A and B are shown apart, each in its own frame.
Chain A
Amino acid sequence: MESGVKKKIPVITPFINFFKNFHKRFKEGSLGTKLSHFIMGSGSFYHKQYIKAALYFILQVGFILFMVLCPEIKSSGTISLGYKAIVNLKDLGKSDVILDPIFDVAANGVLILLFGIITIGICFVYLFAWLSSIKSSYKADLDVKDDKKPTTFKEDLKSLLDEKFHVLMLTPTCLAALIFTILPTIFMICLAFTDYNTPSTSITWTGISGFFSEFKQGEIADYFLPVLSWTFIWALLATFTNYFGGILLALLINKKEIKLKKLWRTIFILTIAIPQFISLLAITKLLSPVGPFNMLLQNLYDWTGGLIGLEKPMEFLGGDGGGKYAAASVPVVKIVILVVNLWVGIPYTMLQTSGILMNIPTDLYEAATIDGANKRQMFFKITLPYIIFVTTPYLIGSFVGNINSFNIIFFLTGGGPMFEGSALTGQTDLLVTWLYRLTIENDKYNLGSIIGILTFMVTSAITLVTYRRSKAYKEEDTFQ
């Protein structure tokens, strides 16, 4: 457990400790350790760990050469890495404009930004290695102090399989995360503060004021609130309808009298097994004006003399086929999406809650029977509270998942029908599909990034609050 003082400033303490240790190493370390601060590997050399020393030294030389010589990536004209890349970050290469767009959609300004960030990333990796060279030298110092021999290179390699096993295992993931997640995320956050909204060759910083001015005028100012509110309504409705639908289905299948439980369950699992894009595309075609669903509605109309059903085929997913078919109003489209989402989601929840239903401690029911409770009471007093208690974290997870549920909207309506007077925002757009349309389809990267940041804020606020309160986080160790 953390101490009270630490808890108050959990963000700062690691930094203070870091500098304390840094100071200690420099003060108490041997000559080699001190030199290590300037020439990597000198500490290892001092302790006669020659291979290690050579590796560290080569790393440092390589880094310095990289920074000074500024290698230019061939495929992208004359945009360079190294120190020039960092200098270029200041005005995104305005002083040094090279109009040679090899990347089809890209602007050179964008690449300059990207290269700058990559260079900074490389600097961080270097700093990490630099620190590790000092640490390793200091560790050798301590070993000598304890009358032990400094570890040999072979021993170091061996320790990677034992006490340093986590280093070996986590390095690939960390590097991959740095290249494919962290740097790209930083890059996109930076784009929110630029004017990159057309596929042009140069961009400039617009800064904080540029970020906020998007909320005063333009696409975000006009449509952010409608899209956000529909995203929330969607996430709430989708989560709860799926959740209760799934529980009811699980209860139905788990009813004592129902035979062939496995068969029923398999029927519903089948729909999970089918790749989602196939089932969604299939449903889109099924619901199309020429598809069987519209046929069914028209047949119903004929049979019942106009009581139920439709007279004319309807475009359930937006659009009106040039007046040939009846257009569905926006609420109808939204309801259709929610219903299709039930089709997609219920089997999933059913599966998860069936497991839980079977695990409800039976003594609870026995005690209730002795106390004379009837079935309904048992359901509302035991089954339901138990399920809700156990699945709360899952419920929150699926709420966040639904905020980001891209596939359903993208495949069914593509976000449409569009708002009147806008070519970029649809009435069934969620934040993510809006983001997709703005960036990938329309190159409005600055707007897309702003939306991405806002989406992140929303989802992280929900998740962090609930995650930190969840038992799984607090009592992680008591589990084991």
Chain B
Amino acid sequence: MSEENLNINETQEEIVIEEEKVTKKYKSLKRAKKLSTIGAYILLIILSIIWIYPILWIVLSAFRQEYTDGILDTRIVSHYFPRGFGIENFRMLFAETRFIRWFGNTLLVAVCSCVLSTILVLSVAYCMSKLRFKMRKPFMNISMILGLFPGFMTMIAIYYVIKLFGLDETLGALILVNSAGAGIGFQIAKGYFDIVPNSLVESARLDGCTNFEIFYRIILPLSKPIIIYTALMAFTGPWMDFIFAKLILGANNRDIWTVAVGLYDMANGSQTATIGFTTFAAGCVCIAVPIVTLFMCLQRYYVEGVTSGAVKG
């Protein structure tokens, strides 16, 4: 009896010790977890600073208003934070450069090529995804092969073709070139249409819908995300494209430049002597704000488009 009791006591003690061990282990685990969480936060904060700082720096420079010897200092300065704030840079940007004109030009090009290339991309993607015809596979292969040639190689030839039509140094040429090539880049939209069940298309066809009606009434209403994604990409393109725009629009007539050409010229080109860095920064802010706002509003669709591209491959 007593021995048994002892045994039980011992086992109970053991259990207690075990429990203590477990709680200790649990506590230390908890502590480790806490530490790792704190570490993760610190890391995230540092990374965020690294990623935000260049942007913040441009914004701060845009609003910087420092005077040395009574003259507005528009150069790059090495101190981290501006010593004076103001909107003088923006005033200079609007008064002394043709920024407003460039902005209008870019907006025009962006809207036109957005509409045109969205229509082209969606229609080609629909054909490739839901219709079956003889030239389908060859077309897909050719479009992929063409995409592999470096774009710069053909740039000069395209420039000549445009000159041939007498369209050089016009915004129309830029719209034409931007949207003409768009149809070839149908892959992401096609990937999206592929997911729309074929049974829907088949039943619509049995109900007597033509292919056009299927496209217009069934596929398009189901594809809002990809339409927005395509349009967003086409719209933001002209704001960022610089090399081609520079070649087509030329150096002579500043009134037809787009913002990208103008800003690059301010930073690295002929205007560096007269236009200061802070004015350039003000220009950057003026473009970045609308684009970023647009992006953030449509972020969901953008993420959807990008991720679908990654998974489907």
The interface of chain A, by Cβ under 8 A from chain B, is 73, 75-76, 103, 106, 110-111, 114, 118, 161-163, 165-166, 169-170, 172-173, 176-177, 179-185, 187-188, 249, 252-253, 255, 257-258, 264, 266-279, 281-286, 288, 290-292, 294-296, 343, 347-348, 351-356, 359, 390-394, 397, 400, 404, 406, 410, 431-432, 435-436, 439-440, 445, 448-449, 452, 455-456, 459-460, 463, 467, 470-472, 476, 479-480
The answer for the CA separation of A190 and B288 in the assembled complex, in Å, is 41
Q: Which residue of A lies closest to B53 (CB)?
A: A286
A264 partner, pick from B44, B157, B181, B310, beta carbons under 8 A: B44
Interchain Cβ contacts under 8 Å between A and B, 18 examples: A106-B160, A173-B183, A180-B177, A188-B156, A252-B40, A257-B33, A277-B263, A282-B55, A288-B76, A291-B78, A352-B307, A390-B310, A393-B312, A394-B311, A431-B150, A432-B150, A440-B152, A472-B312
Minimum CB–CB distance from B59 to chain A (whole Å) comes to 10
A448-B153 CB under 8 A given contacts A165-B211, A170-B127: yes
B54 partner, pick from A286, A393, A452, beta carbons under 8 A: A286
- A356 to chain B: which residues have CB within 8 Å? 307, 310-311
Minimum CB–CB distance from A281 to chain B (whole Å) comes to 5
5 more contacts with CB within 8 A, not counting A118-B164, A291-B78, are A177-B180, A277-B240, A281-B263, A282-B281, A452-B153
Interface stretch of the complex, out of B13-21, B63-71, B118-126 = B118-126
A282-B80 CB under 8 A given contacts A273-B296, A440-B247: no
A352-B306 CB under 8 A given contacts A435-B153, A470-B313: yes
The answer for the CA separation of A288 and B280 in the assembled complex, in Å, is 16
The answer for the CA separation of A75 and B75 in the assembled complex, in Å, is 45
- B198 to chain A: which residues have CB within 8 Å? 480
Q: In the complex, are the beta carbons of A295 and B156 less than 8 A apart? A: no
B47 partner, pick from A249, A282, A284, A456, beta carbons under 8 A: A249
Interface-centre pick from A180, A295, A397, A476 (highest chain B CB count, 10 A)? A180
Say whether chain B's binding surface is mostly helix, strand, loop, or mixed: helix
Q: In the complex, are the beta carbons of A183 and B194 less than 8 A apart? A: no
Interface stretch of the complex, out of B86-94, B141-149, B223-231 = B141-149
Q: In the complex, are the beta carbons of A273 and B295 less than 8 A apart? A: yes
- A460 to chain B: which residues have CB within 8 Å? 145, 148
- A269 to chain B: which residues have CB within 8 Å? 295-296, 299, 303
Q: In the complex, are the beta carbons of B40 and A258 less than 8 A apart? A: yes
- Report B273-313 residues with CB < 8 Å from chain A CB: 277, 280-281, 284, 287-288, 291-292, 295-296, 299, 303, 306-307, 309-313
Q: In the complex, are the beta carbons of B194 and A480 less than 8 A apart? A: yes
Minimum CB–CB distance from B202 to chain A (whole Å) comes to 11
Q: In the complex, are the beta carbons of A252 and B43 less than 8 A apart? A: yes
Minimum CB–CB distance from A307 to chain B (whole Å) comes to 20
A282-B284 CB under 8 A given contacts A277-B242, A343-B51: yes
A278 partner, pick from B37, B277, B288, B306, beta carbons under 8 A: B288
Q: Which residue of B lies closest to A294 (CB)?
A: B78
A275 partner, pick from B48, B148, B243, B291, beta carbons under 8 A: B291
B99 within 8 A of A: no
A169-B77 CB under 8 A given contacts A177-B146, A180-B177, A392-B313: no
The tally of CB-CB contacts under 8 A between chains A and B is 278
- Report B138-176 residues with CB < 8 Å from chain A CB: 139, 143-146, 148-150, 152-158, 160-161, 163-164, 166, 176
A169 partner, pick from B50, B76, B79, B127, beta carbons under 8 A: B127
Q: In the complex, are the beta carbons of B44 and A252 less than 8 A apart? A: yes
The answer for the CA separation of A282 and B57 in the assembled complex, in Å, is 8
Q: Which residue of A lies closest to B201 (CB)?
A: A480
Minimum CB–CB distance from A326 to chain B (whole Å) comes to 15
B41 partner, pick from A258, A288, A431, beta carbons under 8 A: A258
- B108 to chain A: which residues have CB within 8 Å? none
Q: In the complex, are the beta carbons of B50 and A184 less than 8 A apart? A: no
Q: Which residue of A lies closest to B259 (CB)?
A: A275
A271 partner, pick from B55, B243, B247, beta carbons under 8 A: B55
Minimum CB–CB distance from A344 to chain B (whole Å) comes to 10
Q: Which residue of A lies closest to B145 (CB)?
A: A460
The answer for the CA separation of A261 and B19 in the assembled complex, in Å, is 36
Q: In the complex, are the beta carbons of B50 and A343 less than 8 A apart? A: yes
- B148 to chain A: which residues have CB within 8 Å? 400, 456, 459-460, 463
Q: In the complex, are the beta carbons of A173 and B124 less than 8 A apart? A: yes
Interface-centre pick from B47, B57, B160 (highest chain A CB count, 10 A)? B160
Q: Which residue of A lies closest to B246 (CB)?
A: A440
A455-B150 CB under 8 A given contacts A162-B212, A275-B260, A290-B77: yes
The answer for the CA separation of A347 and B302 in the assembled complex, in Å, is 13
Q: In the complex, are the beta carbons of A185 and B149 less than 8 A apart? A: yes
Q: In the complex, are the beta carbons of B51 and A271 less than 8 A apart? A: yes
A275-B40 CB under 8 A given contacts A165-B131, A351-B307, A356-B311: no
The answer for the CA separation of A184 and B247 in the assembled complex, in Å, is 15
Q: In the complex, are the beta carbons of A275 and B78 less than 8 A apart? A: no
Q: In the complex, are the beta carbons of A355 and B303 less than 8 A apart? A: yes
Interface-centre pick from B176, B197, B236, B303 (highest chain A CB count, 10 A)? B303
- B52 to chain A: which residues have CB within 8 Å? 267, 270
Q: In the complex, are the beta carbons of B311 and A404 less than 8 A apart? A: no
The answer for the CA separation of A348 and B153 in the assembled complex, in Å, is 27
- A166 to chain B: which residues have CB within 8 Å? 127, 131, 133, 136, 211
- A435 to chain B: which residues have CB within 8 Å? 150, 152-153
Minimum CB–CB distance from A390 to chain B (whole Å) comes to 6
A75-B40 CB under 8 A given contacts A181-B181, A271-B51, A294-B78: no
Minimum CB–CB distance from B93 to chain A (whole Å) comes to 14
Q: In the complex, are the beta carbons of B164 and A165 less than 8 A apart? A: no
The answer for the CA separation of A178 and B183 in the assembled complex, in Å, is 12
- B295 to chain A: which residues have CB within 8 Å? 269, 272-273
Q: Which residue of B lies closest to A178 (CB)?
A: B180
Q: In the complex, are the beta carbons of A183 and B211 less than 8 A apart? A: no
Q: In the complex, are the beta carbons of B158 and A177 less than 8 A apart? A: no
Q: Which residue of B lies closest to A410 (CB)?
A: B243
The answer for the CA separation of A101 and B295 in the assembled complex, in Å, is 46
Minimum CB–CB distance from A25 to chain B (whole Å) comes to 16
- B127 to chain A: which residues have CB within 8 Å? 165-166, 169-170
A440-B155 CB under 8 A given contacts A282-B284, A285-B277: yes
B239 within 8 A of A: yes
B218 within 8 A of A: no
- A264 to chain B: which residues have CB within 8 Å? 44, 48
Interface-centre pick from A118, A163, A177, A431 (highest chain B CB count, 10 A)? A177
Q: In the complex, are the beta carbons of A169 and B287 less than 8 A apart? A: no
- B306 to chain A: which residues have CB within 8 Å? 348, 351-352, 355
Q: In the complex, are the beta carbons of B154 and A181 less than 8 A apart? A: yes
Q: In the complex, are the beta carbons of B292 and A111 less than 8 A apart? A: no
The answer for the CA separation of A480 and B220 in the assembled complex, in Å, is 17
Q: In the complex, are the beta carbons of B152 and A177 less than 8 A apart? A: no
- A180 to chain B: which residues have CB within 8 Å? 154, 158, 161, 176-177, 180-181
Q: In the complex, are the beta carbons of A184 and B158 less than 8 A apart? A: yes
Q: In the complex, are the beta carbons of A103 and B124 less than 8 A apart? A: no
- A290 to chain B: which residues have CB within 8 Å? 75-78
